[in-house]
């Protein structure tokens, strides 16, 4: 990866998106902060970023459905994936003790993932914020001595906060999968063993089953299938499918056969499997 690669992230520095970007690309990158997932896509489309890193599913909260639509509509190439363990810590300004805390703030999903912890402390008022890292930054900027943020250790490090309690998330096996997006598919990867595809099938008995069986017959393993309604079309759906294989020739054969039974077939990306959390 060339020095200073620009990666658009949703959120600010030290957010989970930046942590995931560091895990995939290494620390020697320039992160482009964006307020929304749509803004990350616009940043890539306008050439202000080289890549987008985009959360696509969480093991507790499920799939981020609008993001599938963004990838399809902008026609970006999926060139990689990274899984990140979501570890949530309670952090405050140096010197603040646990008994000083009156408020806890974080992203709504992060707060939901820590309900067991806060059940034991009903005196702490929970306040929703826009972003985990932004909540940590606000404590630093406004010197809030009665407030804690729930965020990753990267945020504590960047904004000079002390971690009071580590790993307060209820489920210790919580992870998020992120996709790496590029504006084109020019980069050739040496080892390709995973793909993300999108297609539609006719609205008749066995239409989807026929396509899925083609992949099964060629020993292509479907790791995820997600349906999304086609906007304004009743009983019409896009199917987003992730698949893995050991034999590239069998994958190619399955794709050729599947094309005969689908419409709007799109290989969103072929890349290297990277599912270590």
194-271 fold: Alpha-Beta Plaits (3.30.70)
- What pLDDT was estimated at residue 189? 65
pLDDT reported for residue 84: 97
Tens digits of per-residue pLDDT, 208-258?
999 999 999 999 999 999 999 988 888 889 999 999 999 999 999 999 999
Over the chain, what HEC string results? CCCCEEEEEEECCCCHHHHHHHHHHCCCEEEEEECCHHHHHHHHHCCCCCEEEEEEEECCCEECHHHHHHHHHHCCEEEEEEEEECCCEEEECCCCCHHHCCEEEECHHHHHCCHHHHHCCCCCEEEECCCHHHHHHHHHHHCCCCEEEEECHHHHHHHCCEEEECCCCCCCCCEEEEEEEECCCCCCCCCCCEEEEEEECCCCCCHHHHHHHHHHHCCCEEEEEEEEECCCCCCCEEEEEEEECCCHHHHHHHHHHHHCCCEEEEEEEEECCCCCC
Where, residue-wise, is CATH 3.40.190.10 in the chain? 5-86+174-182, 89-165
What is the model's pLDDT at position 170? 93
Q: Which CATH number fits domain 5-86+174-182: 1.10.3720.10, 3.40.190.10, 3.90.1150.10, 3.40.50.300?
A: 3.40.190.10
- Which pLDDT belongs to residue 42? 98
89-165 adopts what CATH topology? D-Maltodextrin-Binding Protein; domain 2 (3.40.190)
Identify the segments of the chain with pLDDT beneath 70. 1-3, 186-189
For CATH 3.30.70.260, the residue range(s) in the chain are: 194-271
pLDDT at 141: 98
Mean pLDDT of the chain: 94
């Amino acid at each position: 990866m060339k020095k200073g690669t620009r990666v658009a992230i949703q959120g600010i520095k030290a957010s989970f998106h930046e942590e995931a970007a560091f895990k995939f690309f290494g620390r020697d990158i320039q992160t482009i902060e964006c307020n929304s997932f749509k803004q990350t896509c616009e940043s890539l489309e306008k050439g202000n970023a080289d890549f987008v890193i985009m959360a696509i599913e969480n093991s507790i909260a499920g799939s981020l459905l609008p993001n599938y639509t963004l990838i399809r509509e902008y026609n970006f190439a999926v060139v990689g994936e990274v899984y990140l363990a979501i570890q949530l810590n309670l952090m405050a300004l140096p010197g603040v003790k646990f008994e000083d805390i009156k408020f806890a703030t974080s992203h709504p999903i992060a707060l939901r993932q820590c309900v067991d912890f806060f059940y034991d402390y009903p005196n702490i008022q929970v306040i929703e914020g826009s972003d985990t890292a932004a909540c940590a930054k606000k404590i630093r900027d406004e010197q809030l001595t009665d407030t804690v943020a729930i965020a990753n250790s990267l945020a504590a490090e960047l904004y000079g906060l002390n971690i009071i309690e580590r790993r307060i998330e209820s489920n210790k096996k919580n992870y998020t999968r992120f996709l790496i997006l590029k504006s084109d598919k020019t980069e050739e990867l040496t080892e390709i063993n995973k793909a993300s595809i999108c297609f539609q099938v006719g609205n008749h008995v066995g239409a989807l089953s026929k396509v899925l069986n083609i992949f099964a017959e060629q020993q292509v393993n479907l790791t995820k299938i997600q349906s999304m309604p086609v906007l304004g079309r009743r009983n019409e759906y896009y199917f987003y499918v992730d698949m893995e294989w050991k034999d590239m020739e069998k994958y190619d054969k399955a794709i050729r056969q599947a094309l005969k039974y689908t419409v709007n077939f799109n290989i969103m990306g072929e890349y290297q499997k990277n599912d270590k959390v």
